[in-house]
Structure 1
Amino acid sequence: MQLLYMRLGTNDLSRSRAFYDATFGVLGLAPSMVEADPPFIMYDLPGGPKFAVGEARNGEPATYANGGTIMFSAESDEQVAAWHAAGLAHGGSCEGIPEPKPRANNAFGAYLRDPDGNKLCCYHGVSFG
Structure 2
Amino acid sequence: MTIGYVTIGAHDVEAALPFFDQVFGAIGYERGEPEGGWAFYGPKGAPCVGICKPHDGAAPRAGNGIMIAFKATDQEQVRAAHAAALAAGGKDEGGPGFRPPEGAEFYGAYFRDPVGNKYCVYATT
Global fold match (TM > 0.5): yes
Gaps of 5+ in 2: none
Q: CA RMSD in A?
A: 2.1
2:66 aligned partner, one-letter code? G
Is 1:20 aligned to residue 20 of structure 2? yes
User: Take 2:118 and 2:31, find their aligned partners in 1: how far apart are those partners?
Assistant: 20
Identity of aligned residues (%): 36
Q: Distance in 1 between matches of 2:96 and 2:77?
A: 10
**Structure 1 pair 9–125 and aligned structure 2 pair: CA distance change class (3 A):** same
1:94 corresponds to 2:92: yes
In the alignment, does 2:103 pair up with 1:110? no
Q: Which amino acid in the other structure matches residue 125 of structure 1? A: T
Q: Which residue of 1 aligns with 2:119?
A: 120
What residue in structure 2 maps to residue 6 of structure 1?
A: 6
Partner of 1:82, secondary structure, is helix
Question: Following the alignment from structure 2 to structure 1, what is the Cα–Cα distance between the partners of residues 86 and 15?
Answer: 12
Mapping of residues 75-94 of structure 1, within 5 Å: 75-94=73-92
SS of 1:96's equivalent in the other structure is: strand
For 1:79, give the aligned amino acid.
Q
**Superimposed CA distance per residue, residues 56-106 of structure 1 (whole angstroms, 9 cap, x where no aligned partner):** 111111111110111111122121111000011111110111111108944
Aligned equivalents of 2:42 and 2:73: distance in 1?
18
Measure, in 1, the Cα distance between the counterparts of 2:97 and 2:40. Answer: 29
Displacement of 1:14: 2.4
What is the TM-score normalised by the length of structure 2? 0.87
Q: How many residues end up aligned between the 2 structures?
A: 124
Q: Please list every run of at least 4 consecutive aligned residues from structure 1 whose deviation after the TM superposition is greater than 3 angstroms.
A: 45-48, 103-106
Determine helix, strand or coil for the equivalent of 2:79: helix
Q: Distance in 2 between matches of 1:79 and 1:40?
A: 25
In the alignment, is the contact (CA less than 8 A) between 1:21 and 1:32 conserved in 2?
no
- Structure 2 distance, partners of 1:88, 1:18, is 12
Which moved further from structure 2: 51-60 or 24-33? 24-33
CA distance in 2, matches of 1:16, 1:105: 34
